[in-house]
């Protein structure tokens, strides 16, 4: 490897590494060792291969010098041929060891990526909903991609470079000193000519690269927001396309300018180092030739020194930046561990029970709850803020108690922000209560297994979220084995959700992709898709959180028909602002400021003339029948 190529690789490493100087964290190193422990056998093999490769790298220049000595001294042809064959064999061995080393390093690196990614992914899935409401998705995805890959480089690149280069450096110095200590010392004196410019240029170019990365990230965020269906609609309605274009173009022009400056700096740097490497070789040949002519040095030794010179600067320049690369890898590990250190608020108890068979009741007993503060569920770096919001923990539910018997429907009504959705989120255990208990079939939800809870409790929210996938895939999310015997069951739930005709009219039927968040469907169609998914899951407890909000009358009527089908025979908790949708409920609870202020049937609450009657009058005062007639 030429000296200028080595210097360029070193410059590239510095550019892509963190320049922050920080101490080695022993705790981080211990955790890294824990992840590396399953791969320790392969790491040992990798280290041995690196040492063997370094030994062969030093052997070739020494043998080349002996060939020259044999030629100059008029030795036997057989000696030259044997040496040449040995050099050829070493080249084959180096190639084979290089391939084996690369295979091992890639296995190590990719194995570590697999372990880290699956650990982070599994951990994030266990986090509470509050974590996702606070965290920027892009920042979280970056931890799974950029930081995991940065950590992987510590095993696939840095480990091999440090071990191999250290052995190569020691062997090269030892051989060069035995050949000519004067030339060796001169070569070491010239070392700063290679290392110092690489580090200085690397810091300068790293600054440009970081600026370019920030600009690209900003453009990516802007495109993600503007190119989504809601974002594009908002820009068309209220935005100024010319201003949007100019702002994007300004960042793009800056990235272009940085690219030009970086390219020119790289070219100038490599050109200068090419010149310096040529001068260094000329110095070795000149001084070595002078020694050889005086009889104090063999001609072959001069050739060996010249070849060893390239093997000397390669490990020296690489080791000079090894600390920077190690620090960069540690930063990546720490950012990954930072996510893993966030404790999930919801933990399944050992030996958790299953939800009892058959129809089940739902019971809240003196439930008190406050949303967790940010420091318990999030990180400032994931929210991309300087410091976390210190608010949180204040009680929002105060002594909530009610019971829904098997097959009954309980409706929650009240003002926005009264706590209705919070009550609904406690039932499937998206959060845990601070005090009191939530029971399903007489068993506290904290004693039930997550798997049985998913099979027993279903929820339809007002946004009707769907994945960018086919109709089939969005339905099978509820029960993956539902299409094992064909599509009959899928078509059945679509028929019951009043969607069969629509799906049959789509270009690919069940295999039609619904688009990001299901935006290729109308709001009512998305809601009915989520209801079809609920029907397919066959869950015994159903939660409807504003399932008909934001729908026109026609869509609401279709959704209500589907909901009637979905609620049949199930225990249900229904949240609604439109009181017309809950008049048939077995019990209606009026929630205000985190408390149940009224409870009863529709007729009973109208007769009382309290908060429910006030809400009903407000909604139906225009063209509505009198309260007594409605009752």
pTM recorded for the entire structure = 0.67
**Residue partners of 585: CB distance under 8 A and separation at least 6:** 409, 410, 411, 574, 601, 602
Quickly count: other Cβ atoms within 10 Å of residue 386's Cβ.
Answer: 6
- Give whole-number Cα distances, 311 to 51, 391, 426, 469, in Å: 14, 60, 66, 54
In this predicted structure, the answer to whether residue 625 has a pLDDT above a threshold of 70 is: no
Q: What is the three-class DSSP state of 241? A: helix
What pLDDT shows up at residue 237? 65
For residue range 83-112, what is the model confidence (pLDDT) as tens digits?
Answer: 889 989 988 998 898 888 888 877 877 787
Q: Which residue has the tokens 């009752």?
A: 631
In this predicted structure, the answer to whether residue 22 has a pLDDT above a threshold of 60 is: no
The domain limits of the chain are 3-340, 362-375+393-600
- Give whole-number Cα distances, 239 to 248, 519, 618, in Å: 14, 21, 36
Domain 362-375+393-600 in this protein, CATH class: alpha beta
On average, the pLDDT of the chain sits at 78
Name the band, by pLDDT with cuts 50, 70 and 90, for residue 320.
Answer: low
Determine the average pLDDT of the residues in 391-415: 87
Assigned CATH topology for domain 3-340 = ABC transporter transmembrane region fold (1.20.1560)
Q: What is the three-class DSSP state of 400? A: strand
Half-sphere exposure of 591 (CA within 13 A, CB side): 26
What pLDDT shows up at residue 373? 78
How does 478-495 read in b/e, with b if 16+ C-beta sit within 10 Å? Answer: bbeebbeeeeebbbebbe
Termini Cα distance of the chain: 91
Name the band, by pLDDT with cuts 50, 70 and 90, for residue 485.
Answer: low
Quickly count: other Cβ atoms within 10 Å of residue 432's Cβ.
Answer: 15
In this predicted structure, the answer to whether residue 62 has a pLDDT above a threshold of 70 is: yes
Phi, psi of 444 (to 5 degrees): -60, 135
């Amino acid at each position: 490897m030429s000296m200028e190529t080595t210097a360029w690789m070193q410059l590239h490493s510095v550019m892509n590494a963190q320049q922050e100087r920080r101490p080695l964290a022993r705790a981080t190193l211990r955790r890294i060792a824990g992840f590396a422990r399953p791969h320790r056998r392969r790491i040992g093999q990798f280290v041995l291969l690196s040492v063997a490769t370094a030994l062969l790298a030093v052997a070739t220049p020494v043998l080349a010098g002996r060939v020259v000595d044999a030629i100059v001294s008029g030795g036997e042809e057989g000696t030259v041929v044997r040496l040449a064959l040995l050099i050829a064999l070493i080249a084959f061995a180096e190639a084979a060891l290089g391939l084996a080393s690369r295979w091992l390093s890639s296995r190590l690196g990719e194995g570590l990526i697999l372990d880290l990614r699956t650990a982070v992914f599994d951990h994030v899935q266990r986090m509470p909903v509050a974590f996702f409401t606070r965290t920027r998705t892009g920042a979280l995805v970056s931890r799974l991609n950029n930081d995991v890959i940065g950590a992987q480089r510590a095993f696939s690149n840095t480990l091999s470079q440090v071990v191999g280069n250290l052995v190569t450096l020691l062997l090269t110095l030892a051989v060069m000193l035995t050949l000519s200590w004067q030339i060796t010392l001169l070569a070491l004196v010239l070392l700063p000519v290679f290392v110092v410019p690489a580090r200085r240029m690397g810091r300068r170019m790293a600054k440009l690269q970081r600026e370019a990365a920030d600009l690209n990230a900003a453009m990516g965020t802007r495109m993600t927001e503007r190119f989504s269906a809601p974002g594009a609609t908002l820009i068309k309605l209220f935005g100024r396309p010319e201003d949007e274009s100019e702002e994007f173009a300004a960042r793009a022009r800056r990235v272009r300018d940085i690219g030009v400056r970086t390219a020119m700096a790289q070219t100038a740097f490599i050109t200068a180092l090419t010149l310096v490497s040529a001068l260094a070789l000329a110095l070795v040949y000149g001084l070595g030739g002078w020694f050889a002519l005086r009889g104090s040095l063999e001609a072959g030794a001069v050739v060996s020194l010249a070849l060893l010179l390239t093997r000397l600067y390669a490990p020296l320049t690489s080791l000079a930046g090894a600390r920077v690369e190690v620090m960069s890898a540690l930063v990546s590990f720490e950012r990954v561990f930072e996510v893993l250190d966030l404790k999930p608020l919801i933990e399944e108890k050992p030996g958790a029970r299953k939800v009892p068979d058959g129809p089940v009741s739902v019971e809240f007993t003196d439930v008190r709850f406050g949303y967790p503060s940010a420091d318990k569920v999030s990180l400032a770096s994931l929210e991309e803020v300087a410091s976390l919001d210190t608010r949180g923990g204040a009680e929002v539910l105060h002594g909530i108690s009610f019971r829904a018997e098997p097959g009954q429907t309980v409706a929650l009504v009240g003002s926005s922000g009264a706590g209705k959705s919070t009550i609904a989120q406690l039932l499937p255990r998206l959060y845990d209560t601070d005090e009191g208990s939530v029971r399903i079939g007489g068993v506290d939800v904290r004693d039930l297994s997550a798997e049985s809870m998913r099979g027993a409790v279903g929820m339809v929210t007002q946004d009707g979220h769907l994945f960018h996938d086919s109709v089939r895939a969005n339905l099978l999310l509820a029960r993956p084995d539902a299409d094992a015997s064909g599509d009959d069951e899928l078509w059945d739930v679509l028929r019951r959700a009043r969607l069969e005709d629509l799906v049959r009219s789509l270009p690919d039927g069940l295999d039609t992709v619904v688009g990001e968040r299901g935006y290729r469907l109308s709001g009512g169609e998305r809601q009915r898709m989520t209801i079809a998914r609920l029907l397919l899951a066959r869950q015994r407890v159903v939660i409807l959180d504003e399932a008909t909000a934001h729908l026109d009358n026609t869509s609401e009527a279709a959704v209500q028909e589907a909901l009637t089908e979905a609620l049949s025979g199930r225990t249900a908790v229904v949240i609604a602002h439109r009181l017309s949708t809950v008049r048939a409920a077995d019990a209606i609870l009026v929630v205000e400021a985190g408390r149940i202020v009224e409870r009863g049937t529709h007729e009973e609450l109208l007769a009382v003339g309290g908060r429910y009657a006030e809400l009903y009058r407000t909604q139906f005062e225009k063209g509505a029948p009198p309260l007594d007639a409605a009752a």
